[in-house]
Structure 1
């Protein structure tokens, strides 16, 4: 594949990810609760992935032990990760989750190192500390007030989602060495939807569909089709042709692009409320991304 095509795919992935944070906000606010939205998203994505199985996604060839692993991965991915993300996004602004998800490499470093009982090098430790300082700047624990308190509650839920994503990433790694990553991701999502059904099924069946605003349906469609399906396939293509450092640019570029997209959409009235894009946010973002880059460079230097 041509280099220019790969870079176009990277730019596409960044745009779709940034759009996810912005459009998912409308869905998180427009649906009655996070349980309903999480299940609707998981069921929609699961249906599409089932339709793609045998075509773009190979058929699963799992033993019983692998199926149990898929169920565990699904619980991490949907009831823990996606639910916590949408629960948090209901209270915070789109730019914050984009920034916190950029912490994924640091979380993977700490968890994987802990499982191997290895102490990370000093440069990585410095990167982690810098990133934590950046998180503190964004959370602003020294401030009080109704607005910042609601933002902070949302941010803490999002950080729980990031933690679940980190655990999923570390645990799924070995399984993806033995099975096609597309198959593992697809069936993790499908079984995650099954696991989420007892939590959101009744609410999904009984909610007033007519009261859901159009923007919320658009946000749900974006997450189902573009986030859970298209981005997954693009990500696998990128990993097949590029090294981890190059692919990591996709994650690192999401916070600033999401912030800019949020500002533009707020300016034209498509996002309501203050987007918390002041000096402290940008300072926190620079600090976090500096820490992340330190870890990534040291990984491959």
Structure 2
């Protein structure tokens, strides 16, 4: 198998794992483990893993007040707020809604890049931002009605999650350029773990773990090992051989796979209205992403 094929296989696996996570997490929440308890399990496990890996492989430290404050900000936006809003939102809304709304991350990245890094935004990108935001607003408003599979408040939390992660991607860039990736990720997850513990401590103690079905245990293992750890390792490896734009392009595959999996498992239905709103979101993201700037893919 050629290196090029290996890269595409790795990126497809990442998209497949993220796409399946929407339905698998819904299977666990809230009947077996509350959303914040699920976050605590996932983030603390990842923090321990990446912390040990960092000490064994690189033994590098983030130094200086400015870099340490930036790392804390990254932990708050990229892990704590991001994860708390995502799982709380997914607990309320439908998997397809969450998957479609997450596609606006490149738009959010562009907005924060313009605000914080003073990057230029042309008319094409502005049009894309308006289209994507309009599609997202329509999807949220559609979730108000009775009999719909979405939830307005859940959709808003998913939007807040995307905004938080978009800010994280902009904030973390200088650290990634200065330190090894594993050093930054280990610190970011450690900060995030400290913050999410008070939110999830009670929920993580509530379940009777001895009575959990095997399928739920497998789901928990999947979310820790595959969604959190394996996707990061695959993305990091892929970036050694592929340009960021290729990695970013696979973000469009995530909602497609999420829709297929959600429908196959009977977790959601895909309506004509959702298809039209999704078309607006995708069109807007396409206009924003297909430019000289690279698209960044969610890896948390």
Q: What is the TM-score when the length of structure 1 is the normalising length?
A: 0.88
Say which SS state the counterpart of residue 263 (structure 1) adopts: helix
CA RMSD of aligned residues (A): 2.3
What per-residue deviation string (whole Å, max 9, x for no partner) do you get for residues 273-298 of structure 1?
A: xx141011111112211111111112
* Structure 2 unpaired stretches of 5+: 295-300
Q: Which residue of 2 aligns with 1:217?
A: 217
Q: How does 1:110-125 map to 2 (within 5 A)?
A: 110-117=111-118, 120-125=121-126
1:277 aligns with 2:278: no
Q: What's the offset of the Cα at 1:142?
A: 8.5
Structure 1 segment 280-291 matched on structure 2, within 5 A: 280-291=273-284
Distance 1:124 1:181, change over 3 A: same
Please show how residues 199-218 of structure 1 align to structure 2 within 5 Å.
199-210=199-210, 212-218=212-218
CA distance in 1, matches of 2:244, 2:225: 25
Is the 2:143–2:150 contact (alpha carbons within 8 Å) kept by the matching residues of 1?
no
CA contact under 8 A between 1:25 and 1:219: conserved in structure 2? no
* TM-fit CA distance, 1:193: 0.8
Distance in 1 (CA, whole Å) between partners of 2:6 and 2:119 is: 39
Answer yes or no: is 1:296 the counterpart of 2:289: yes
Structure 1 residue 212, shift from structure 2 partner: 4.5
Change (3 A) 1:45 1:134: same
Query: CA contact under 8 A between 2:149 and 2:269: conserved in structure 1?
Result: no
Match of 1:244 in 2: 244
Per-residue CA shift, 1:119-159, capped at 9, x if unaligned? 510000111111112212322359532x4496222111111
Q: What is aligned with 1:10?
A: 11
Query: How far did 1:206 drift?
Result: 4.8
Within 5 Å, give how 1:83-162 maps onto structure 2. 83-117=84-118, 120-141=121-142, 144-145=145-146, 147-148=147-148, 151-162=151-162
The answer to which of 206-215 and 252-261 deviates more is: 206-215
Cα separation, 2, equivalents of 1:143 and 1:13:
32
CA drift at 1:214: 4.2
Give me the whole-angstrom Cα distance separating, in 2, the residues matched to 1:97 and 1:60: 36
Name stretches of at least 5 consecutive residues in structure 1 with no aligned partner.
none
Question: In structure 2, the residue corresponding to 1:277 is in which secondary structure?
Answer: coil
Change (3 A) 1:12 1:206: closer
Number of matched pairs: 292
Instruction: Indicate conservation of the 8 Å contact 1:20/1:227, yes or no.
Output: yes
